[in-house]
C-alpha cells in the first residue's frame, strides 16, 4: 500500500501536460488521434458544475474535451462561456407527473437525441464519456453504450433517480 506525507496531494491518475509523453494514451498528441473526453449532463447547475470543474482540469492537462447537451439548458450557456466545444442534441424530460409531453419526449426526443449523440460520438471518437446527470445525459449514455464508448457516471446526490 502506498503512503504519502500528511498534507501532500495524491498522485493524479491523469498525467499533467508536462509529464505526458507522446506515447501516453492521455497525451493530447497521441499517435492515432487527439484524446477527447465527452462530457454530458445539465438541466440544472448541480449537474453542470461538476462537468465544468472536470473540463477545467482536462484543459489544464492538455486533454481534448467536448460537451454534448441540450439546446437551451444552463449547460449550453456555461460551456460556451468557458470555451468548451459544445454540441446540442434533442432531449426529452421525464416529468414526475402525468403529461403528454412525457410520451412525446420519450418516444420522439430521446431517440432523436440518441441518434444525434451517436453521430457525434462517431465523429469525435472519444475515449470516454463523463455523465454528470440530468435528463440530457440519457441519450448520450445510450449512444455511448451502442458505440462501445466507456461511460463514467458522476452522481453527487445521495440517491440517484428522479
Give domain limits for the chain: 36-153
Round to the nearest angstrom and report the end-to-end CA distance of the chain: 39
Question: Is the confidence at residue 13, as pLDDT, over 50?
Answer: no
Quote the CA–CA distance of 66 and 117 in Å, as a whole number.
Answer: 12
What DSSP state is assigned to residue 134?
A: S
CATH 3.40.50.2000 fits 36-153, yes or no: yes
Average pLDDT over residues 8-15: 42
Encode pLDDT of 47-74 as tens digits. Answer: 999 999 999 999 999 999 999 999 999 9
Quote the CA–CA distance of 33 and 150 in Å, as a whole number.
Answer: 17
Quote the CA–CA distance of 20 and 77 in Å, as a whole number.
Answer: 31
Q: Which three cell numbers stand for residue 29?
A: 498528441
Do 128 and 152 contact (CB within 8 A), yes or no? yes
Encode pLDDT of 16-34 as tens digits. Answer: 444 444 444 444 444 434 6
Longest Cα pair distance anywhere in the chain, in angstroms?
58
Q: Could you tell me which residue, 13 or 53, shows the higher pLDDT?
A: 53
The pLDDT-based confidence of 8 (bands split at 50, 70, 90) is very low
Encode pLDDT of 70-123 as tens digits. Answer: 999 999 999 999 999 999 999 988 777 888 888 888 899 999 999 999 999 999
Tell me the β-bridge partners of 159. none
Quote the CA–CA distance of 126 and 129 in Å, as a whole number.
Answer: 7
The pLDDT-based confidence of 36 (bands split at 50, 70, 90) is very high
Do 46 and 160 contact (CB within 8 A), yes or no? no
Task: Reduce the secondary structure of 95-115 to three states and give it as a string.
Answer: CCCCCHHHHHHHHHHHHHHHH
Amino acid at each position: 500500500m502506498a503512503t504519502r506525507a500528511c498534507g501532500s496531494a495524491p498522485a493524479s491518475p491523469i498525467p499533467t501536460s508536462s509529464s505526458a509523453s507522446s506515447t501516453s494514451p492521455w497525451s493530447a498528441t497521441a499517435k492515432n488521434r487527439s484524446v477527447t473526453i465527452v462530457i454530458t449532463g445539465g438541466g440544472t447547475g448541480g449537474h453542470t458544475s461538476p462537468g465544468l470543474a472536470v473540463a477545467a482540469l482536462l484543459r489544464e492537462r492538455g486533454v481534448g474535451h467536448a460537451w454534448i447537451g441540450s439546446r437551451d439548458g444552463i449547460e449550453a450557456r456555461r460551456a460556451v462561456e468557458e470555451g468548451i466545444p459544445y454540441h446540442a442534441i434533442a432531449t426529452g424530460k421525464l416529468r414526475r407527473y402525468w403529461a403528454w409531453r412525457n410520451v412525446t419526449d420519450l418516444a420522439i426526443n430521446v431517440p432523436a437525441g440518441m441518434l444525434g449523440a451517436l453521430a457525434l460520438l462517431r465523429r469525435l471518437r472519444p475515449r470516454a464519456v463523463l455523465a454528470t446527470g440530468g435528463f440530457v445525459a440519457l441519450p448520450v449514455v445510450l449512444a455511448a453504450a451502442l458505440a462501445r464508448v466507456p461511460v463514467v457516471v458522476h452522481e453527487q446526490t445521495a440517491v440517484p433517480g428522479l
